[in-house]
Amino acid sequence: MAVEAYEFKSEAQQLLDLMIHSIYSNKEIFLRELISNASDALDKLRFERLTDDTLTADDPDTPLGVRVWADPEARTLTVEDNGIGMSRDEAIRNLGTIAHSGTKEFVGKLKDAQSSENAEHLIGQFGVGFYASFMVADEVTVVTRRAGEATATRWHSRGDGQFDVDTAERATRGTTVTLHLRPVDEDNGMGDYTKEWTLKGIIKKYNDFVTYPIELRTERTEVERDDEGKPVEGAEPKTVVEWTVANSQKAIWVRDPKDVTEDEYTEFYKHIAHDWEAPFETITLKAEGTFEYRALLFIPARAPFDLFYRDQKYGLQLYVNKVLIQERNEDVVPDWMRFLRGVVDSPDLSLNVSREMLQQDRRLKAIRKRVVRKVLDALDTMLKDDRPRYLKFWEQFGKVMKEGGTDADFKAKVEPLLMFTSSTQDEVTTLAEYIERMQDGQDAIYYITGESEDAVKHSPHLEAFAAKNYEVLYLTDPIDEILVGHLTEFNDIPLKSVGKGEVELGTEDEKKAAEEAREQKQAEHKDLLEKLGGLLSDHVKEVRFSSRLTTSAVCLVGGEHDLSPGLEKLLKQANQAAPGSKRILEVNPDHAVVTTLKGLFEANADDPKLGDYAQLLYGQALIAEGTAPPEPAEFARLIANLMV
């Protein structure tokens, strides 16, 4: 049959230009697409053999597989399979119409025949992957012979809007795609795709878990040696050609977990996570029904060094039918679970035309929700059944888990897993455990925020709580300042800062008696407190007597809904507007300093010493919480004068 020339359909030249320059962001993707097409062809042969005995008789002893080889001198790269192949009409229709997917058509036929279970394992869905070849090649030749037919077809194009078709010779069924590669241009992402290590790396990265063996032709030079292993003098070196399987073919996540050993999981984890240690925890997930996917998840034994780097890339490997689509997909796990490693594989995800990106749809959100819940359930079980093991996890990843407490979608499941240091416990405690230890009449979970445990454990804010043996949680991680804005109650019990608002401890009778006593003293010293408030008006909004101090003279507290100093500091560090708010200076009514101030005030309400003492009290309150006075030099002068 004579050579026939055709023009591509669908405004081909413009579409090819789009394919080459826009759709694919990474040129090495072309090899993934060609191998995926070859895998599809092998699947199609296997499926059609089930109903067509003649195809079974066609070369039954040759194992199904894919072969890849390069010719550096000719600068060609060839991908060959012994799959179903194409007839002349199929080659014209499938390769001559951009975005016509033979796989998609085949899936439709299988579904019509109620064989959709088999159909879901095919990879190609768009019919554009083949044309990714023109990103790296200026000429592509396809020789194909359909199973059951005697003749082969040659398809050829330079990517210029035309292609020609001719009859060809091919000994067996299958398809051979030969690319005439463009010159190497590393600056524009054009690698040398004739190098063995380059090809092996791409296959390993994207097609490692394709079911069929992908053989790569390798060449090495050998010198003839004698019986003692020494080179034979004068012997000509020989080139030895070998075919080596470049992919593992072992998609461990599709196997029954009962059939996979711990060592196999460990080796796979080390492979994908580039870690030298075994994983801390392995979690498997399989979802079936109208929407299918599998996940194999790992919690590392140690927090990675870049866990808190702003530009850290995180996410799970995303596969569609065992073909890698994204190395790190950030959509299937929230950023606070960025320590998680593993893979997600689904035949049902909606990909864009290049298969490099996912369309945002309910399926992706469903995977995310299920993956997170599966991990949280595993951690919950660990906490209940093996607390020492959970404590090891918390030591490594507790800070990022606290970030999860701010996630509205998952905070209800994260909150029971949160742990905090405490004023009464030797090790960290959960909120539920705190509630079990609450005092009679206690109606809140109390906490204090600060920069370190040493700073908060000696805070004057804790004095009344320590006196009544009330437990107070120490929240000293920067994220805690944000967490308490979201974690306002637990099991219907409010969380309350010891550094904000009024403090009322004890039974109802005790609270009433304490309040009456404080109000009486407040009334007796009303003029003095107003004087001090006026002297410190630039710094505080009020001076009042305290019910939380027992030994210290003063402390600073915020209003019930004010930002904490720690949160204001975080906002400023992030260059965000932080509404500066004045706090309240609380004075211990039973401290001797009140007697001194009262005497000075009654003797002379305008005594300059009152102003100096007010500044000293304010500076003392700041120092007690780990903050420097606003004017350290002036504060030091006042201290020296007081000593004199």
Residue 478 has pLDDT above 80, yes or no: yes
- Segment 427-437 shows an average pLDDT of 96
Summarised one tens digit per residue, pLDDT across range 572-614 is 666 666 666 788 898 988 899 988 888 888 888 888 888 899 8
Residue 116 has pLDDT above 50, yes or no: no
Residue 183 has pLDDT above 70, yes or no: yes
- Segment 37-66 shows an average pLDDT of 83
- Segment 439-444 shows an average pLDDT of 87
The pLDDT mean for the chain works out to: 85
- Per the CB < 8 A criterion, the answer to whether 393 and 299 are in contact is yes
Summarised one tens digit per residue, pLDDT across range 71-82 is 999 999 999 999
Q: What are phi and psi of 110, to 5 degrees?
A: -65, -40
The sheet carrying 341-345 orders its strands as 281-287, 293-299, 341-345, 316-320, 323-329
- Per the CB < 8 A criterion, the answer to whether 72 and 194 are in contact is yes
Q: Where are the domains of the chain?
A: 4-245, 252-393, 405-497, 516-643
Residue 321 has pLDDT above 90, yes or no: no
Residue 117: pLDDT band with limits 50, 70, 90: very low
Residues in the chain: 644
Choosing among 3.50.50.60, 3.40.50.11260, 1.10.3720.10, 3.40.50.450, the CATH entry for 405-497 is 3.40.50.11260
SS3 582: coil
Q: Which residue has the higher pLDDT, 369 or 220?
A: 369
* In CATH, 252-393 is 3.30.230.80: yes
Residue 114 has pLDDT above 70, yes or no: no
Summarised one tens digit per residue, pLDDT across range 488-512 is 999 999 999 998 878 777 777 777 8
- Segment 144-153 shows an average pLDDT of 93
Give the Cβ contact number of residue 582 at 10 Å.
Answer: 16
Q: What is the DSSP secondary-structure string of 48-80?
A: HHTT-HHHHHSSTTSPP-EEEEEETTTTEEEEE
Question: Which range is least confidently modeled, 31-40, 61-70, 150-159, 561-570?
Answer: 561-570
Ranges of H-type helices in 386-500: 387-404, 411-414, 431-436, 453-457, 463-467, 478-486
Summarised one tens digit per residue, pLDDT across range 195-225 is 999 999 999 988 998 889 999 999 888 877 7
Q: What are phi and psi of 486, to 5 degrees?
A: -105, -35
Q: Mean pLDDT highest for which of 396-405, 525-534, 577-586?
A: 396-405
CA atoms of 636 and 639, how far apart (whole Å): 5
Q: Token pair of 87, please?
A: 């007839």
Query: Which CATH fold topology does 4-245 show?
Result: Heat Shock Protein 90 (3.30.565)
pLDDT of residue 548: 86
**CATH architecture group of domain 516-643:** Up-down Bundle (1.20)
